[in-house]
Amino acid sequence: MALSGGHKNRGELRVHESLDELKTDLADYIAEISEASVKERGVFAIALSGGSLIGLMGKLCEAPYNKTVDWSKWYIFWADERVVAKNHADSNYKLAKDGLLSKVPVIPSHVHSINDTVSAEEAADEYEFAIRQLVKTRVVSVSEISDCPKFDLILLGLGPDGHVASLFPNHSALNEKEEWVTFITDSPNRHRRGSHSPCLLSILHQT
Ligand SMILES: O=C(O)[C@H](O)[C@@H](O)[C@H](O)[C@H](O)COP(=O)(O)O
């Protein structure tokens, strides 16, 4: 693994020689952050996205992580979700459930998926409300400089055009300042995944 970067406060860039090395490093990294959060706050709040991420997290389902990670302290959220049923092939919840959550002992009530039985607008409002409640009880921390939620870890893939979650470069959704969760009606992602997944929900604010 090569490390580069070094810009103050810009984080660290890790370049891996192989997919296997990347998967191991990612599992180690997540396990480390989880342990530190549980030690400091008693819980670990993680937000997932879709794409290749869940496949890359696969080692967490294997030894030693499946036994050493304190799964009972995990609270799981989605950085973005498609407006499809939870059992639809395009659902980011289904992706995570099949590839990770059904294979480790997370507590079902700690899995905060987006409601697929109401309209997308209602689901966004409901999700924001749920996060606000969990900020109040400090399951999700709060930013020191605003009232925005601060997850212990947000894992995002990066699309070829630079999009993360369902936030695309220059999209008007990037100007949203008030809502924590929003319904994006004209996401370019719909063209990538086909007409079954026209819209997405994204958590916008994290400081
Ligand atoms: O719902 C989605 O499509 C994802 O949340 C999306 O934001 C993904 O993370 C990026 O498109 C990167 O995808 P890859 O990891 O497959 O490159």
Tell me the average pLDDT of the chain.
88
Report the pLDDT value the prediction gives residue 186, as an integer from 0 to 100. 72
Nearest ligand 1 atom to alpha carbon 164: 7
Q: Which residue out of 19, 26, 48, 53 has the highest number of ligand 1 atoms within 8 Å of its CB and is therefore the one to mutate?
A: 53
Q: Whose CA is nearest to atom 2 of ligand 1?
A: 50
> Per residue in 143-178, pLDDT tens?
888 888 999 999 999 999 999 988 889 888 888 888
Taking CA atoms only, the protein residue closest to ligand 1 atom 16 is 51
Cα distances (Å, whole numbers) of residue 72 to 112, 126, 168: 14, 24, 34
Tell me the ipTM for this assembly: 0.96
- Fold of the domain spanning 13-203: Rossmann fold (3.40.50)
Identify the helix (H) or strand (E) that includes residue 42: none
Distance 54 CA to ligand 1 centre (A): 10
Query: What residues in the chain have per-residue pLDDT under 70?
Result: 1-10, 187-201, 203-207
Show me where the domains of the chain are located.
Answer: 13-203
